[in-house]
């Protein structure tokens, strides 16, 4: 079963759909945005999209709910997007980094490489914090996939990260290797 998850590029509201249309699992969902690919959904897994920005900053923003309290974000930015709200060396308080390519990964991060169906991925872990009245610290796994066949000339990478480290680095590597396809 092939389910299209295309979202029109509208300006304005960027909130996640609070009640995404549930997909019967397992299935394959087509993402047809500035980055085009398919996500192989397992039982109980869902995708929720935000509306893309007209300037492609971001050109894609998807929350992939894996079930059992685990999820990842899939984002893509145009190569000319400027980082907002901080830099990639100190992600925190909602800023998970803006990775337009692997060149945006801070030099002090220990990286690895994973072959994926979409292209080679550079993987690493980054510290992340959230503070209001007190602070909580997390380790987030991140993958920056250099797209073999970009759908848009200004969007050449797909970043996948596990917010608050709900999925570990090995789990993220398995996801990008096994659940994504062109």
Mean pLDDT of 79-106: 85
What pLDDT, in 10s, does the model give residues 56-65? 888 899 999 9
Q: Residues 144, 101: contact at Cβ < 8 Å?
A: yes
For residue 35, give the nearest of 11, 5, 66, 71 by alpha carbon: 5
pLDDT of residue 82: 83
Backbone angles phi, psi at 32, to 5 degrees: -125, 70
Q: What b/e string do you get for 17-49 counting C-beta neighbours within 10 Å, with b at 16 or more? A: eeeeeebeeeeebebebbbbbbbbbeeebbbbb
Sorting pLDDT into bands at 50, 70 and 90, what band is 51? Answer: confident
CA distances from 100 to 5, 8, 80, 148 (A): 23, 22, 8, 14
Give all domains of the chain, ordered by start, each with its CATH number: 2-181 (3.40.1000)
pTM above 0.75, yes or no: yes
């Amino acid at each position: 079963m092939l389910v299209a998850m295309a979202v029109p590029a509208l300006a304005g509201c960027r909130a996640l759909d609070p009640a995404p249309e549930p997909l019967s699992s397992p299935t394959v969902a087509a993402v047809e945005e500035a980055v085009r690919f398919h996500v192989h959904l397992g039982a109980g897994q869902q995708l929720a999209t935000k509306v893309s920005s007209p300037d492609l900053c971001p050109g894609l923003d998807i929350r992939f709910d894996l079930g059992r309290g685990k999820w990842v974000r899939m984002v893509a930015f145009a190569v000319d997007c400027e980082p907002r709200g901080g830099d990639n060396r100190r992600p925190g308080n909602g800023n998970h980094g803006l990775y337009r390519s692997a060149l945006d990964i801070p030099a002090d991060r220990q990286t690895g490489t994973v072959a994926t169906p979409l292209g080679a991925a550079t993987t690493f872990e980054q510290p992340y914090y959230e503070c209001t009245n007190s602070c909580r610290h997390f380790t987030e796994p991140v993958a920056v996939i250099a797209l073999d066949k970009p759908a848009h000339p200004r969007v050449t990478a797909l970043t996948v990260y596990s917010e608050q480290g709900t999925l570990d680095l090995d789990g993220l590597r398995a996801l990008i290797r096994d659940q994504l396809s062109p």
